[in-house]
Chains A and B, each alone.
Chain A
């Protein structure tokens, strides 16, 4: 096993490697909760979506929601993981006001999904494999509200009992960038699969990040032997809810650990929280204060048996996932980088494919989308699905550039017009005479006019051929940008007797 190197932290005593593993809680996309029929919709009035089961009323019993099981299996298959035909629900016992039963139903020893993998795409085009340890189903707790009353806390149980998938990675990430990329890729996969909406603002995805540091070489020894003693003591940073915060939390935490060790101290295994305002992690509770959850199999639920035929059926219904899509896009001639940007979000990939359906060339469409349209959306704070320009319009613009109907410069202006006026770009080009001038005589006329008006420049350019660009600019100005730049160059070259570019 050849582990990829860590981004190193320079310490006083030498270099340190970072090792990161993640536990991601992803809310299962399902209308009803894991063990009750109550709704899971976000944003309802407090305690409006609570069944007697969710409230932990006496004598109430959980009944598994088949849809949630299917979603977990689907996610497992998307992570190329082993689906366990038999899994067991356990009770995790602890007291908290937003935990009405006094226990959370989870899966401890026998999860529904076993080992799998996920590939993350780094900006350099590098692909890194991160092992998935397991995925299990569990109930979410409710929410304590501490800001409603000066003396009392309130409890909202709307979220109580909602199905979560806890997806646990192996400690295979080596930098804050990789940790953020892992979360991004996982989010993309569940969104492709339709198993989680990935809305991190609404808490649909939250990450617990395990960080440790070790001296250079320790990680390789760990990967060779599987022995955790080669790694440093880890700290778990709870409930980090954005990619940026994941990266910041890792950076801070790794440096904190290096400083402690180099200062002669030792890392205490503990749970920490990330303060996104101070950009730091703080201790929540130490290992000694950790709960004894007294896990045991939930006697209200039989072991979950899943028939292979059903798994196969779910497998057959999986959509094309980011990695496969990326490979297909690369085959179309896209760079690995462009392809991974496009597949990063299903909606962008879909938009891109819609552009291809409009007849645009793949490479040109990808360039246009990545460099022009996505940039503008980003600046405007819009997403691909809320943006104003339909795929067919962008496809038409790309096609017109390729067919030399318009110039690249005009194309950009045209996009601005389409953006605000929401008109068909072909119609705009026709109506406003934006067609590129390829008629040589018209261009010759324009070139001659510029040369006549600027005899001094003509002399200069003969000495310094690079100044020809100035003429191109002037000609474009004269033609209102509609002249075909290649044609302008050709005419200029002939008129000024310029040598071929070397």
Chain B
């Protein structure tokens, strides 16, 4: 092994367990890598001292024979997860210098499994975005570049910092959150793996809320196996989250290689969209062929309400966000205007106008509008009805198949600034991913090929509720067939 940062999570785990490498050595290598990758702007907060302390503690446990499943493995945490004693920003200015006095359940689960924290990754403000350009802390730059190009590309979003970190080997794995595609879309455009588990699989407690009925945490990793390992140690039923579900968390890694023989794979016809690049179509067909070649049965299915998914999403998510973000009022914590104010209303208005970026303000306005008296029935209420129909589409489809195969994104990574002036074209990035959030189902994005320009593209496997095991299995089969081994260049690395 030339560099410890080339390890996958599973490889590092095995090496640490076999005492071939100490957590301090491993963590030190990643701390150095993070420090040398400033130009990617993948981290909002680096915690090298904390990382080395945790690594030392891990090494002590390993020495005592008390190693836990993720002992000594350095991870990056999306800055939407509250981390005790470590500033948490949600990519926003409104939280100011907020240092949570509590740890999110998901990150706590990871620390309880022995993992080490490298820092907090950059993200779209409040997870609202598909390019990481809405971050108050400036965009993340993708480590990927098109062939023969020096143009900076977006890493996708909102979990862009996590995707870039995993892709550029700045961490073994990272956490993400996915409200409309925020794990899968950045994973797909950075050649990494990301799974959004079933709604209720991971606790939302301690994760800064965007849209409560859609938000779900999940892992972002270099391969499917690593995601399987991570999810097992992130998921838990949580008495502090009423929407978390008490379903046993299986050992996903154990069944990972079981193959897809006899598995019925649905191809939803509505995911063929006009104007999609031919490369996407071709990759999708290839994916189906790969699975078929491994013994899966390919079935044509229909999800007739798919066309409503994006509009429904852009009503439901902003509605919930407008309410969830009301607590950022400058009264108890976070940013408060320094201007003189005459009354409380002015304090709210100025603090919030200064604290929130344009995209967040846009969604708060949309959300407030769709919930207003006289508009509620026309928008929010109808959107909820359609959401029920979208879920029913999946229920019907899953009578004919076990998983669905779709493209993960409508295209590869785009240039910084290319879509930021046009919110609607930005929203279209989530066209293949939002339906799954609306239905609460698990879905994985797996790298499956490169464009002619050398940029990664991914495929998505959607499963039945709480059947992540099968999703991983199908994802692994695609991974094996695709044999995706491309890595981004190292142009960004500090000299």
Contact = CB atoms under 8 A, between A and B. Distances in A.
A57 B333 contact: yes
Interface in A41-65: 52, 55-64
Nearest to A300: B212
Contacts of A63: 239-242
**Which among B98, B241, B323, B371 has the greatest number of chain A C-beta atoms within 10 A?**
B323
Contacts of B275: none
A296 B100 contact: no
Contact of A57 (B100, B344, B373): B100
B308 interface: no
B373 A97 contact: no
Nearest to B98: A58
A155 B333 CA distance: 13
A102 B326 contact: yes
Interface residues of A, number: 30
B208 A58 contact: yes
B242 A62 contact: yes
Contacts of A101: 326-327
| Central interface residue in B243, B327, B344, by most chain A CB within 10 Å | B327
Given A97-B344, A101-B327, A296-B319, A58 B100 contact: yes
A37 to B, nearest CB: 10
Interface in A301-329: 301-302
Contacts of A299: 211-213, 243, 320
Nearest to B325: A102
B60 to A, nearest CB: 31
B332 A100 contact: yes
B416 interface: no
B152 interface: no
B320 to A, nearest CB: 6
B90 interface: yes
A97 B331 contact: yes
A103 B90 CA distance: 21
A292 interface: yes
B457 interface: no
A56 B327 contact: yes
B427 interface: no
B326 A103 contact: yes
Contacts of B37: none
Nearest to A36: B240
Contacts of B242: 61-64, 300-302
A61 B329 CA distance: 18
Nearest to B204: A61
A61 B371 contact: no
Interface string B304-330: 000000000000000110110111010
B466 interface: no
Interface in A275-313: 292, 294-296, 299-302
Given A101-B327, A302-B243, A56 B332 contact: yes
A288 B104 CA distance: 43
A91 interface: yes
A93 B319 CA distance: 11
Contact of A58 (B88, B240, B320): B88
Given A59-B208, A61-B242, A302-B242, A102 B344 contact: no
Tier of interface size on chain B: 35 or more
Contact of A59 (B104, B322, B332, B371): B104
A58 B83 CA distance: 11
Specify which of A91, A97, A102 lies most central, judged by the most chain B CB atoms within 10 Å of its CB: A102
B414 interface: no
B438 interface: no
A95 interface: yes
B205 interface: yes
Interface string A59-94: 111111000000000000000000000000001010
B371 A294 contact: yes
A299 B322 CA distance: 13
Interface in B130-172: none
Nearest to A96: B344
A264 to B, nearest CB: 32
Nearest to B320: A299
B381 to A, nearest CB: 9
A292 B239 contact: no
Contacts of A294: 322-323, 368, 371-373, 376
Contacts of A95: 326, 329, 345, 348
A55 B332 contact: yes
A333 B376 CA distance: 59
Interface in B351-409: 368, 371-373, 376, 380
B205 A61 contact: yes
Nearest to B367: A294
B95 interface: yes
B207 interface: yes
A427 to B, nearest CB: 59
Nearest to A103: B323
Nearest to A294: B371
B206 interface: yes
Nearest to B81: A59
Contacts of B81: 59
B265 interface: no
Nearest to B349: A95
A277 B208 CA distance: 47
B82 interface: yes
A366 to B, nearest CB: 51
A301 B240 CA distance: 11
Contacts of B88: 58
Max chain B C-beta neighbours (<10 A), residue from A57, A61, A97, A302: A61
Interface string B86-101: 0010100001001011
Given A102-B326, A292-B372, A58 B82 contact: yes
Contacts of A295: 371, 376
A241 B332 CA distance: 30
B219 to A, nearest CB: 19
B102 interface: yes
B440 to A, nearest CB: 12
Contact of B102 (A52, A91, A93, A300): A52
Nearest to B82: A59
B42 interface: no
Contacts of B211: 299
Contacts of B332: 55-56, 100, 155
A303 B13 CA distance: 42
A370 B373 CA distance: 54
Interface string A16-33: 000000000000000000
Contacts of A103: 323, 326
Given A97-B344, A292-B372, A294-B371, A59 B323 contact: no
B94 to A, nearest CB: 10
A263 to B, nearest CB: 33
A314 to B, nearest CB: 22
Contacts of B205: 59-61
Nearest to A52: B102
Contacts of A153: 344
A93 B372 CA distance: 10
B209 interface: yes
A91 B95 CA distance: 23
Contacts of A292: 372-373
Nearest to A56: B327
A295 B344 CA distance: 23
A103 B322 CA distance: 11
A33 to B, nearest CB: 14
A296 B323 CA distance: 9
Contacts of B323: 91, 93, 102-103, 294, 296
20 contacts: A57-B102, A58-B82, A58-B209, A59-B104, A61-B204, A61-B241, A91-B323, A93-B322, A93-B371, A95-B348, A102-B323, A102-B327, A103-B323, A292-B373, A294-B368, A296-B323, A296-B376, A300-B212, A300-B242, A302-B243
Given A56-B327, A59-B102, A60-B206, 13 more contacts: A57-B327, A59-B100, A59-B207, A59-B209, A61-B242, A63-B239, A63-B241, A93-B322, A95-B345, A97-B344, A153-B344, A292-B372, A292-B373
